[in-house]
Amino acid sequence: MLLLIKSIKKDISPVIYGYITTYYYHEGYTQLLIIMLHPM
């Protein structure tokens, strides 16, 4: 079971990782700019 999950992760993770990285890069960058421009 664990081996199956690992093999599935190996196949799918580049796509998911790319999507998540792109999404969170933009979201995180926006948040970072907001934090930098509006310091608490």
Q: Is residue 2 included in any domain, yes or no? A: no
Give the model's pLDDT for residue 18: 80
Q: Is residue 16 included in any domain, yes or no? A: yes
**Which pair of tokens denotes residue 28?**
């995180």
Q: Is residue 4 included in any domain, yes or no? A: no
Number of structural domains found in the chain: 1
**Which pair of tokens denotes residue 2?**
């664990």
- Domain assignment of residue 30, given as a range: 10-40
pTM, two decimal places: 0.34
Give the model's pLDDT for residue 5: 61
Q: Is residue 25 included in any domain, yes or no? A: yes
For 1-40, write each residue's pLDDT tens digit. 577 666 666 667 777 778 878 887 788 788 877 777 776 5
Q: List the helix and strand counts (H, then E) for the chain.
A: 1, 0
Q: Is residue 5 included in any domain, yes or no? A: no
d(CA 18, CA 27): 14
d(CA 27, CA 31): 6
